[in-house]
Amino acid sequence: MQRSKSNKKALSPDEQTRLAYIVAALRWGEEELSQTEIAERLDLRPMQVSRLLRQAERLGFMSKPQLTAGRDRELEADLLRAFPRLRRAGVVLADGRVRLAEDRVDAVASCAAQFWSDYVPCQRGERTKVGLGGGRAIARLVDRIETPGPNAKLELYALSNIPTGDEDVSSNTNVAILKRRFPRRDIVIHQLLAMQLSPEMKEKDIRAERRRILRLSIVQQHFREVSQCRALFAGIGSFEDRNLWNRLRGLGFDKRELPRNAIGDLIYNLIHEDDQVFHEDSILHTRLITVPVGIFIDIAQRPDSLVTILAWGKEKAKPALAAERVGAYNALICDIEMAEEMLALVAGKKGL
């Protein structure tokens, strides 16, 4: 976020807070820049930097936990106006342009924990079902989940699983985290069955194995239970992000196998840049077991349920826009970069 020295336009309170956060992150975060360096980086006068640092101190932006605590309410309101399907929006005061990648993950997870507390009641005698995807932000959300109250029952469902040659190895690291954190019987963890693949299997054998898995009653029951969840939390991937390519390469997929109009994924369901967005004959479905996107759409339409996407970085904006267009989620938590990019795209400032 750059501000021109000649720009006389007054900033709104939220813009002032956002800029104070970025200045604080540059001063007290990973880079520890001097005031002069910050002024050069953001195209500000040194006096402006000094004033913003004083504001940051008043706001409490002086340590990593504090730097990940804030939210941009103005951008949240903009997202809710631009996307009528959204019921909740969280825009965290974390920005990749100041090299706070890990802080962004923590900030997104903290905001997700707030959404969780609103939509996942864990009081006496209540039984609640929640679906969880994979990824760093979901893992850190899991670490923030409160222990259910007496006699409350929380059932957690994995939304995807990847091939493994060992039945005892969970491909969903969040399931493992949950099992370690909540050994008590009042939290039940349901893992989605993975395909059992071996290097010598041919493509036709892999496809036959997936069809066999999907026909199993335990998998069909898992899908039915997920469709009854009160809330889903999942990340979204982008092919502009090398992390998604690395994950797919590790699963044996070649970049040349993927459709040219594929722009990202939602729990290993490819997101396409076309009217249909999600295709049932996706190449990823040859080897992966994942909850169908149709279940996401059905849950998102229910008035008392929340399907939340956790993401950050402007490269996630296009996949998120495509998934929103078909109603795959009704709540979004992202960082400033992603929110601004989504709003710019939908306003026609950039080509979709």
Q: Give a yes or no: residue 351 inside a domain.
A: no
**Counts of helices then strands in the chain (DSSP H, E):** 14, 11
Q: For 22-74, what is each residue's pLDDT tens digit?
A: 787 778 766 678 889 889 888 889 899 998 888 887 776 665 555 555 777 88
Mean pLDDT in residue range 72-98: 84
Q: Give a yes or no: residue 6 inside a domain.
A: no
The pLDDT score that the predictor gives to residue 269 is: 92
| pLDDT above 60 (res 321) | yes
**Same domain flag for 90 and 145:** yes
**Same domain flag for 154 and 220:** yes
Answer for the pair 267, 291: CB distance below 8 angstroms, yes or no.
yes
| The pair of three-digit structure tokens given for residue 39, joined into one six-digit string | 């002024």
CA distance 253 to 251: 6
Q: For 211-257, what is each residue's pLDDT tens digit?
A: 888 899 999 999 999 999 999 999 999 999 888 888 788 777 887 88
**Same domain flag for 106 and 231:** yes
The pLDDT score that the predictor gives to residue 264 is: 94
Answer for the pair 129, 223: CB distance below 8 angstroms, yes or no.
no
Q: Give a yes or no: residue 166 inside a domain.
A: yes
**Same domain flag for 74 and 59:** no
Of 255, 323, 330, 251, the closest CA to residue 287 belongs to 251
CA distance 102 to 60: 19
State the chain's mean pLDDT as an integer: 81
Mean pLDDT in residue range 2-29: 67
pLDDT band at 170 (very low <50, low <70, confident <90, very high): very low
Q: Which of 167-181, 220-234, 269-283 has the weakest average pLDDT? A: 167-181
Q: For 184-194, what is each residue's pLDDT tens digit?
A: 656 788 888 87
More reliable by pLDDT, 22 or 84: 84
**Same domain flag for 289 and 303:** yes
Q: What CATH number is attached to the domain comprising 24?
A: 1.10.10
More reliable by pLDDT, 11 or 232: 232
Q: Give a yes or no: residue 3 inside a domain.
A: no
Q: Report in angstroms the alpha-carbon separations of 45 from 9, 37, 38, 39, 51.
A: 15, 11, 9, 6, 10
Q: Which of 138-142, 306-310, 321-325 has the weakest average pLDDT? A: 138-142
The pLDDT score that the predictor gives to residue 306 is: 94
Q: Give a yes or no: residue 92 inside a domain.
A: yes
Q: Give a yes or no: residue 1 inside a domain.
A: no
Q: Give a yes or no: residue 7 inside a domain.
A: no
**Same domain flag for 251 and 292:** yes
**Same domain flag for 59 and 90:** no
The pLDDT score that the predictor gives to residue 164 is: 44
**Same domain flag for 28 and 113:** no
Answer for the pair 161, 194: CB distance below 8 angstroms, yes or no.
yes
Answer for the pair 233, 131: CB distance below 8 angstroms, yes or no.
yes
Mean pLDDT in residue range 77-95: 89
Q: What CATH number is attached to the domain comprising 154?
A: 3.40.50.1360
Q: What is the number of structural domains in the chain?
A: 2
Domain end (from 37, 65, 93): 65
The pLDDT score that the predictor gives to residue 340 is: 92
**Same domain flag for 56 and 76:** no
Full residue range of the structural domain in which residue 55 is found: 13-65
| pLDDT above 70 (res 132) | yes
Share of the chain above pLDDT 70, in %: 79
pLDDT band at 314 (very low <50, low <70, confident <90, very high): very high
**Same domain flag for 41 and 186:** no
Q: What share of residues in the chain are helix, strand, coil (percent, to 5)?
A: 45, 15, 40
**Same domain flag for 25 and 99:** no
More reliable by pLDDT, 144 or 318: 318
Q: Give a yes or no: residue 138 inside a domain.
A: yes
Domain end (from 65, 82, 101): 65
Q: Which of 117-126, 197-206, 231-240, 297-306 has the weakest average pLDDT? A: 117-126
**Same domain flag for 128 and 271:** yes
Residue 34, Cβ neighbours under 10 Å: how many? 12
